[in-house]
Amino acid sequence: MSGFSIDWLDLREDADRRARNSDLREQARQWLEDSQCSTPGPVVVDLGAGTGSTLRALVLPGQLPLIWRLVDHDHTLLGEARRRHGSTQQVETCAADLSDIEKLPLDGARLLTASALFDLVSAEFIDALARVLKTQCQQSPVGLYAALNYDGSTQWTPAHPLDDTVLNVFNQDQRQDKGFGPALGPEAGNTLYRVFTQAGFEVYSASSPWLLDGGDQQMVEALIVGIASAVKGSPLLDANALEDWVQFRRSKAASGTCTVGHTDLLALP
């Protein structure tokens, strides 16, 4: 799968934290604290863990001890996660090919988490994951907390005539293979909801949009550059027109707004 830099992950973390749906986050925490949990330290397996943003989003002072099994293909990101949290949390790091579901270290998990991951995966991946978790629930109940799944919507102010075209081309790119087969992109949230409901889980879903303004200028500028890189070369976009869009968007990064739609999902057995 494609890599992500520590700088980008750090840049987006505050927006991610603000965007997370608070009700589903609290419900996920409650699931971990449930008295039926048989282990003194519930295991949270975080897929695509990066530097540990999901850990930082879920852990509260005084919370019962958790064992965090951070799984990522990137050794550098895992090393940074251990540096940040190894002395304060019970952290296991595991470098793994995330696309190989059968080899993921899910044993003993009380909760499987992922942030901004499932829009990169295929429908087949979701199907296989639901089957694995359903089978695992026969031994010990495990839930899924999937946050910040891109839903395909982006609104900018002030508007530019090319906004809709850029968005359509970007969403096409989001469906390209990211290392898991054809990516779900904007369909990730709906697919998760349907597949896990059909697998017998009780599924909760809520909106979790990025709400960006001048206080997020550095992130907005990075987002603009990233979008332009993804859509560059499309026959639907003239190169000069795209450059005009980029310059316009960057000139408004400090004074305009950007809303990027995401969906959070919690599936419990």
pLDDT digits (tens, 9 = 90+) for 114-129: 999 999 999 999 999 9
- 86: pLDDT strictly greater than 90: no
Strands (E) located in the chain: 43-47, 67-72, 90-95, 109-115, 143-157, 202-207, 210-212, 257-268
The pLDDT score that the predictor gives to residue 213 is 97
- Per-residue pLDDT band for 87 (boundaries 50, 70, 90) equals confident
> Is residue 115 within 8 Å of residue 144, measured between CB atoms?
no
The pLDDT score that the predictor gives to residue 1 is 39
The pLDDT score that the predictor gives to residue 123 is 97
221-230, Cβ contacts within 8 angstroms, sequence gap of 24 or more: 221/250, 221/253, 222/8, 222/11, 223/258, 223/260, 224/249, 224/250, 224/253, 227/166, 227/170, 230/169, 230/170, 230/173, 230/174
- Per-residue pLDDT band for 199 (boundaries 50, 70, 90) equals very high
Token digits of residue 269: 């057995």
- 38: pLDDT strictly greater than 90: no
The pLDDT score that the predictor gives to residue 3 is 54
- 110: pLDDT strictly greater than 80: yes
- Per-residue pLDDT band for 154 (boundaries 50, 70, 90) equals very high
The pLDDT score that the predictor gives to residue 63 is 73
Q: Could you tell me which CATH number the domain at 6-151+177-211+261-268 has?
A: 3.40.50.150
Domain-wise residue ranges, the chain: 6-151+177-211+261-268
This model's pTM is above 0.85: yes
